[in-house]
Amino acid sequence: MRLLIELPAWAAKYMDHEAVYASEAERMELVIELARENVLRGAGGPFGAAVFESETGRLVSVGVNLVVPFNNSVLHAETVALMLAEQRRASYTLGAPGLPAHELVASCDPCAMCLGAILWSGVRRLVCGATREDAAAAGFEEGPVFPASYEYLADRGVEVVHGVRRAEARAVLELYVSRGGVIYNG
């Protein structure tokens, strides 16, 4: 029994080059672009994510939501990006000794599953665009995420930033709804 999970070719192209995204805004712009392209191409849910080296801004991996095309409820943009980053680093944790600090940038606040996945991935920082409320307004459920969940991350040294380029990120959720996209966990 095997699972073959593959980024769409258009998304994989972002990983072909050793691009540097210096600022937080540039990193967020990339993941919002990934989310928007995923919607416009009908490739999956309206979410994008990417892993960067925090200090240099070098792109390590990208992810888009692949739940519907792969019939796989685990394949949120965040889990896809984290799994690809770990594969690239050949390490089950991006926090391994000798590796630079990594961060996950996501076009929306994480659901309960992804919040847990972020903890195990070893990233030291999480940057989010649209909020849980924006996702809910579009019909998406985020699951059992509480203020204490974020305190748990903070206690373990994961810094979290919310609401970066929120309006643009939220606009992608609204675009998806306007096109009649599937709400797979509504």
Q: How far is the CB of 10 from a copy of itself (least distance, A)?
A: 12
Question: What string marks each residue from 70 to 89 as x (binds a copy of itself by CB under 8 A) or -?
Answer: xxxxx----x--xxx-xx-x
Indicate the residue among 156 and 180 with the shorter CB distance to a copy of itself.
156
Q: Does 117 bind a copy of itself (CB under 8 A)?
A: yes
Number of residues that bind a copy of itself (CB under 8 A): 48
Beta partners for residue 64, in sequence order: 48
Q: Does 22 bind a copy of itself (CB under 8 A)?
A: no
Q: Does 131 bind a copy of itself (CB under 8 A)?
A: no
Sort residue 122 into left (φ over 0), alpha (ψ -120 to 50) or beta: left
Q: How far is the CB of 75 from a copy of itself (least distance, A)?
A: 8
Residues 6 or more apart whose CB falls under 8 angstroms from that of 7 comprise 15, 62, 63, 64, 66, 80, 84
Give, as one character, the DSSP assignment of residue 146: -
Give, as one character, the DSSP assignment of residue 54: T
Binds a copy of itself (CB under 8 A): choice among 33, 37, 149, 161: 149
Q: Does 103 bind a copy of itself (CB under 8 A)?
A: no
Q: Which residue has the tokens 């961060």?
A: 103
| Gyration radius from the chain CA atoms | 15
Q: Where are the beta strands (DSSP E) in 22-173?
A: 48-53, 59-64, 102-108, 125-130, 159-161
Q: Does 157 bind a copy of itself (CB under 8 A)?
A: no
Q: Does 115 bind a copy of itself (CB under 8 A)?
A: yes
Tell which residue, 176, 185, 3, 40, has the closest CA to residue 111.
185
- Identified catalytic residue from 29, 78, 86, 103: 78
Catalytic site includes residue 78: yes
- From residue 29, alpha-carbon distances to 50, 76, 143, 160 in Å are 11, 18, 26, 18
Q: Does 97 bind a copy of itself (CB under 8 A)?
A: no
> Which stretches of the chain bind a copy of itself, using CB under 8 A?
1-7, 12, 15, 61, 67-68, 70-74, 79, 82-84, 86-87, 89-93, 111-117, 119-122, 143-144, 146, 148-149, 152-153, 184-185
